[in-house]
């Protein structure tokens, strides 16, 4: 069994915050693959499902971001899921909006949710980093991530959530490069088609004047 952990803060007032993109992504995956309804357990909300033959547990900790590790550790211990089989989906201020990167192991880069998970299960889990942009001033970071996505973000956000759910099988299979390519393609603007040259009355190409 694998565990997908979406990070965020519980409550309607936080639901559309940039900090809650992890919750949004896990919800999109659970909906796409018709997971069982969420139920309260391990200080969070859990749902079970199957993604291309692999049993998967979705978890949304309700401990608030800074204590996410308590919920993750409790759930992992109960189901005997090692850190290497845990994938955490979260916001990332050091990536531009709509950029997504997959990383396995390594540091927490100052993210409070990841810091808590490190403290409880160590660093050997995978993480999917969803870019939400940087406000430009470190003193404004908390306000930035705890604000709702701007109206202008709606289009790319919908595309990213659709793409992560549609391609969740690549994530489950560890095909990280393929997944990142799919997500990048999903948010690329369509290429402008070149106008065809006009034809003269005799069938030849004109000068377009």
Q: Does 144 participate in catalysis according to the annotation?
A: no
Sheet holding 126-131, edge to edge: 39-41, 44-51, 54-61, 2-6, 86-92, 126-131, 100-104
54-61/2-6 β-pairing: parallel
Residue in 19, 111, 118, 144 annotated catalytic: 19
The dihedral built from the CA positions of residue 11, 12, 15 and 18, taken in this order, carries a sign that is negative
Nearest to 34 by CA among 60, 52, 16: 52
- Distance, in Å, from the CA atom of 178 to the CA atom of 195, rounded to the nearest integer, reads 32
Nearest to 124 by CA among 68, 82, 90, 176: 82
Q: Catalytic site residues?
A: 19
């Amino acid at each position: 069994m694998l565990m997908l952990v979406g990070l965020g803060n519980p409550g309607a007032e936080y639901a559309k915050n940039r900090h809650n993109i992890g919750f949004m992504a896990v919800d999109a995956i659970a909906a796409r693959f018709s997971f069982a309804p969420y139920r309260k357990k391990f200080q969070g909300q859990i749902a079970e499902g199957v993604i291309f033959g692999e049993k998967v547990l979705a978890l949304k900790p309700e401990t608030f971001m800074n204590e996410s590790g308590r919920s993750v550790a409790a759930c992992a211990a109960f189901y005997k899921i090692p850190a290497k089989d845990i994938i955490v989906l979260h916001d990332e201020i050091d990536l531009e909006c709509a950029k997504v990167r997959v990383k396995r192991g390594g540091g927490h880069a100052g993210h409070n949710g990841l810091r808590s998970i490190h403290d409880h299960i160590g660093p050997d889990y995978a993480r999917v980093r969803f870019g939400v942009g940087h406000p430009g001033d470190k003193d404004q970071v908390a306000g930035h991530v705890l604000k709702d996505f701007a109206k202008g973000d709606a289009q790319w956000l919908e595309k990213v959530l659709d793409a992560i759910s549609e391609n969740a099988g690549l994530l489950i299979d560890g095909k990280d490069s393929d997944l990142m390519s799919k997500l990048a393609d999903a948010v690329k603007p369509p290429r402008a088609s070149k106008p065809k040259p006009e034809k003269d009355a005799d069938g030849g190409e004109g000068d377009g004047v």
